[in-house]
Amino acid sequence: MSARVSVVLGAGRGIGAATAERLARRGDAVVLVDRAGDDRRLSYSMASTSDLERAQAATRRAAAAAGAGGDGDGDGDGDGDDRVIALRADVTDPAALSSALETAEARFGGIDAIVVTAGVIAGGVPLWEMPHAELRAVIEVDLEAVITAARLGIPALLRRPAPRNGRFIAVASTAASRGLPMLAAYCAAKAGVVGLTRALAAELRGTGITANTVSPGSTDTAILEQSARLYDLPSAAAFAAQQPIERLIRPEEVAAVIAHLAGPDSGAITGADHAVDGGLAI
Helix (H, G, I), strand (E, B) or coil at 168: strand
Burial class from Cβ neighbours inside 10 Å (0-12, 13-18, 19+) for residue 282 reads exposed
Residues 110, 6: Cα–Cα separation, whole Å: 9
User: Residue 140: which residues within 8 A CB-CB, separation 6 or more?
Assistant: 92
Question: Cβ atoms within 10 A of the Cβ of 213, count?
Answer: 28
Which residue type, as a one-letter code, is found at position 183? Answer: L
Instruction: Out of 172, 186, 259, 277, pick the active-site residue.
Output: 186
User: Residue 118: which residues within 8 A CB-CB, separation 6 or more?
Assistant: 9, 10, 16, 34, 35, 91, 141, 145
Residues 166, 267: Cα–Cα separation, whole Å: 9
User: Residue 146: which residues within 8 A CB-CB, separation 6 or more?
Assistant: 116, 170, 193, 196, 197
User: Residue 203: which residues within 8 A CB-CB, separation 6 or more?
Assistant: none
CA distances for 39 relative to 44, 48, 216, 223, angstroms:
8, 11, 23, 14
Which residue type, as a one-letter code, is found at position 45? Answer: S
231 is catalytic: no
- The answer to whether 228 and 236 are in contact (CB under 8 A) is yes
Residues with a catalytic annotation lie at 186
